[in-house]
């Protein structure tokens, strides 16, 4: 699974990186690592706007691990 | 939106927060704050710089409790919802400089983005030039973002790092209580207090502080950001944050009509000048600096409250920048731009463009 590590990056970098990867992949699964709740919300919103769904949002190492999917 | 549990971060949540800010800001004007300046992060940081004596512009010196409330309200919300995350180390010195020039640009226009909205909602047509300049500055910023601009990663750090700015704000509040305002006296202990001008106009301390705490709490939850509103619209065609901005302006306009505070026109607007080009360019500098720094002045306060040490440095940069703006004659006044306002805009743009062009490595 492709991974975007956006931990420590400030707004709007996590969304820019995740969107870039989603557009590159077109479909499939993507893991996104972020470190703030704001980034979780922003990446979720961006993913849903592109028709991806958020399969998982797990706390991990002081941040979060999101798994995005589009079939 | 199943994954979004935070109700304030939903569309209606952010609209609600925009409404609350619009109501509180216009009421604060009714209760004593300057006209079209119920809440202005740039002006209020500038007044704090004045209260501390970092500049000696006698009409803009007052330790604004709203700013103290914004940071502490955000801190309380962050702790209450387990979102306090101490972090720092993303090019701190650059964030300080961006804060300083954001302030210098905002003081050529005379207001932060919040006040630009409040000025428009109060009928001040000059705000249109400021808002257009703000959007232009943010647009330049998005171009840098699209071409790889970033300030690098912040890393987790000691909780005490996240506490530095909230503690500083508590210190400011303590100073206000130890050295309270004495009617018609320009100084109380170490603090300066304006006896005339906008700095002398303020709501009672407790009212300002409570309003600030409420806004800080709500804004932390909703991630309210005026720069982000424009940025996301340009970058992602997303109207989420923008809907909060619209809610603020519409609410403030309706409130101003109800409270008899709506006075349409360009001439003789409160704490404003009519030099359209410099209103535009001042806010272009500010907008670009906000975009490169990752948030409008209000958002930087709320980020600092939730533990972001880099945002705290942006805030300190704004306060120091306000000192420079007035000491160097770069800040405007109702009679027009300052003697060195044009130089401020030119240098500010040059500095921001240098930062934008030179810091475009891909994130490691």
Chain segment B156-193, per-residue pLDDT in tens: 999 999 999 999 999 999 999 999 999 999 999 999 99
> Distance, in angstroms, between A12 CA and closest chain B CA?
7
Question: Would you state the pLDDT for residue B1?
Answer: 38
Number of Cβ within 10 Å of residue B320's Cβ equals 18
pTM: 0.95
- Residue B130, pLDDT > 70, answer yes
Query: What are the extents of the domains in chain A?
Result: 2-70
Query: Are B271 and B36 spatial neighbours (Cβ–Cβ below 8 Å)?
Result: yes
Give the domain ranges of chain B.
7-358
CA angle (B28 as vertex; B27, B34 as ends), nearest 5: 120
Instruction: Check CB contact under 8 Å for B294 and A46.
Output: no
Superfamily classification of domain A2-70: TusA-like domain (3.30.110.40)
- On chain A, the residues whose CB falls within 8 A of the CB of B363 are 6, 9, 13, 17
Chain B residues close to A9, C-beta within 8 Å:
90, 150, 153-154, 363
Helix (H, G, I), strand (E, B) or coil at A15: helix
Task: State pLDDT tens for residues A21-64.
Answer: 999 999 999 999 999 999 999 999 999 989 999 999 999 988 99
Residue B108 host element (H or E): helix B92-109
ipTM computed for the complex: 0.92
Q: Is A9 on the interface with B (CB under 8 A)?
A: yes
All residues of chain B having their beta carbon less than 8 Å from the beta carbon of residue A41 are 4, 6, 9, 223
Chain A residue with the nearest C-alpha to that of B7: A41
Chain A, 18 to 57: residues with Cβ < 8 Å from chain B are: 19, 35-38, 40-42, 44-46, 48-49, 54, 57
Residue of B nearest to A7 (CA): B153
Q: Is the pLDDT of residue B3 over 60?
A: no
Residue of A nearest to B146 (CA): A16
Residue position matching structure tokens 């996590």: A14
Instruction: Compare CB distances from B83 to A6, A16, A37 and report the shortest one's residue.
Output: A37
CB contacts of A35 in chain B (<8 Å) are 85, 87, 156
Q: How far apart are the C-alpha atoms of A35 and B141, rounded to whole Å?
A: 23
Pairing state between β A63-70 and B87-88: unpaired
């Amino acid at each position: 699974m492709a991974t975007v590590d956006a931990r420590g990056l400030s707004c709007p970098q996590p969304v820019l990186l995740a969107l870039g990867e989603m557009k590159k992949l077109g479909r499939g699964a993507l893991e996104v690592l972020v470190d703030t709740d704001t980034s979780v919300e922003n990446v979720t919103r961006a993913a849903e706007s592109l028709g991806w769904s958020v399969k998982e949002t797990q706390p991990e190492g002081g941040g979060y691990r999101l798994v995005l999917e589009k079939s | 939106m199943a994954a979004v549990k935070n109700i304030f971060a939903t569309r209606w949540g952010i609209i609600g927060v925009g409404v609350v800010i619009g109501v509180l800001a216009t009421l604060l004007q009714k209760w004593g704050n300057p006209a079209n300046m119920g809440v202005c992060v740039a002006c209020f940081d500038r007044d704090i710089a004045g209260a501390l004596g970092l500049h000696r512009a006698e009409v803009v010196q007052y330790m604004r409790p709203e700013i103290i409330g914004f940071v502490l309200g955000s801190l309380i919300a962050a702790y209450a919802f387990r979102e306090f995350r101490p972090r720092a180390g993303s090019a701190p010195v650059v964030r300080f400089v961006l804060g300083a020039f954001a302030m210098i640009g905002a003081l050529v226009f005379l207001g932060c983005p919040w006040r630009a909205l409040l000025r428009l909602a109060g009928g001040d047509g000059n705000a249109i030039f400021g808002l257009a300049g703000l959007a232009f500055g943010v647009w330049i910023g998005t171009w840098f973002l699209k071409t790889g601009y970033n300030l690098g990663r912040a890393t987790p750090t000691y909780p005490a790092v996240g506490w530095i700015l909230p503690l500083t704000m508590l210190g400011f509040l303590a100073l206000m209580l130890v050295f309270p305002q004495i009617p018609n006296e320009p100084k109380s202990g170490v603090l300066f207090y304006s006896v005339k001008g906008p700095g002398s106009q303020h709501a009672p301390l407790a009212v300002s502080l409570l309003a600030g705490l409420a806004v800080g709490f709500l804004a932390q939850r909703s991630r309210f950001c005026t720069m982000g509103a424009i940025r996301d619209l340009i970058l992602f065609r997303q109207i989420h944050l923008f809907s909060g901005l619209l809610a603020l302006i519409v609410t403030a306009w309706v409130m101003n009509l109800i409270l008899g505070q709506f006075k349409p026109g360009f001439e003789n607007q409160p704490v404003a000048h009519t030099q359209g080009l410099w209103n535009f360019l001042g806010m272009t500098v500010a907008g670009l600096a906000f975009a490169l720094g990752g948030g409008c002045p209000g958002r930087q306060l709320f980020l600092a409250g939730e533990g972001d040490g880099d945002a705290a440095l942006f805030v300190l940069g704004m306060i120091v920048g306000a000192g420079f703006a007035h000491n160097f004659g770069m800040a405007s006044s109702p009679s027009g731009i300052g003697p060195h306002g044009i130089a401020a805009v030119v240098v500010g743009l040059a500095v921001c463009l240098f930062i934008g062009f030179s810091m475009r490595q891909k994130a490691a």
